[in-house]
Amino acid sequence: MNLMKNLCVIPARGGSKRIPRKNIKPFMGKPIVAYSIDAALRSGLFEEVMVSTDDEEIAMIAREHGAQVPFMRDAETANDYASTADVILEVLDMYEKRGRVFDTICCVYSTAPFVTPARLSEAYLKLTGGIDSVFTCVAYSYPVQRGLHIVDGKIRMLYPEYASSRSQDLEKIYHDAGQFYIARTTSFIAEKTFWGKNTVGLVLPELEVQDLDTLADWKLAEMKYELLRESR
């Protein structure tokens, strides 16, 4: 039984630029934010699953899919310059004013259709002992040590010392998968970031990760989603 009070926040503002109305754009037949809501609810981990938004249509769709929208996002945290941390701090403050505090805070992005209850549970299992926070990551598909850059029109190795190294001998390097982040609330408030002093990563396979910045990205994500669905 989960004895901690866990809050899941799904940030979903209305002003997305590169893909208009991105947070509620249909993905495989339903609004993409619905996938994050569904995964969080089915995980059974959270006392509350809420969507932080400044947009009435997004709020309506979020409620239709089972999320709570107990308050609307402030204009200052809905602009292009507000960080995820700004949004989370506002949410925690609003709940505290209502007399509700949580042991952990989980931020699931609204455009993360590959998130599953199993992955969320796997991440929470890592939040033990002295661990402050957990987030998803994925290995770069090609060794960054073999990266190239262009200098005065000519191509050069960024790290010439690795010119003769075999790819399999190079250290594996990871990047943020941009799906979800979990932290102990005390750590998050103190650090104002999900990158606490003791952070660990949940490594995902490349098939479960896809940026969604362009319409081409969107189509690739749907293809990956279909492949995953067929394999399960």
Half-sphere exposure of 176 (CA within 13 A, CB side): 11
| Amino acid 2: pLDDT | 54
Cα separation, 6 vs 149, in Å, equals: 44
List, in order of start, the domains of the chain with CATH numbers.
6-137+175-231 (3.90.550.10)
The answer for 179, left when phi > 0, alpha when psi is -120 to 50, beta otherwise, is alpha
Question: CA dihedral defined by 113, 114, 120, 125, rounded to 10 degrees?
Answer: -160
Which residues share a beta bridge with 104? 6, 184
Write out the H or E segment, with its range, that includes residue 191: helix 185-191
CA distance 179 to 168: 27
Classify 4 as helix, strand or coil: coil
> What averages of pLDDT result for each successive group of 10 residues across the chain (232 residues)?
84 86 95 98 98 96 98 84 91 96 97 97 93 97 94 95 91 96 96 93 97 96 94 78
CB–CB of 170/156 below 8 Å? no
- What's this model's pTM, rounded to 2 decimal places? 0.93
Count Cβ atoms within 10 A of the Cβ of residue 187 and give its class: 0-12 exposed, 13-18 middle, 19 or more buried: buried
Torsion-angle region of residue 194: left (phi > 0), alpha (psi -120 to 50) or beta?
Answer: alpha
Using one digit for the tens of pLDDT, what is the confidence trace for 54-99?
Answer: 999 999 999 999 999 999 998 887 787 789 999 999 999 999 999 9
H-type helices in 9-126, by residue range? 33-43, 56-64, 84-97, 117-126
Answer whether 11's CB lies under 8 Å from 55's CB: no
For 78, which DSSP code?
A: S
Q: Write the DSSP symbol of residue 117.
A: H
What pLDDT does 128 receive?
86
Q: What is the reported pLDDT for 80?
A: 78
Q: How far is Cα 118 from Cα 65, in angstroms, rounded to an integer?
A: 19
Q: Residue with structure tokens 């455009």?
A: 111
Contact indicator for 36, 115 with CB cutoff of 8 Å: yes
Coil, strand or helix at 203: strand
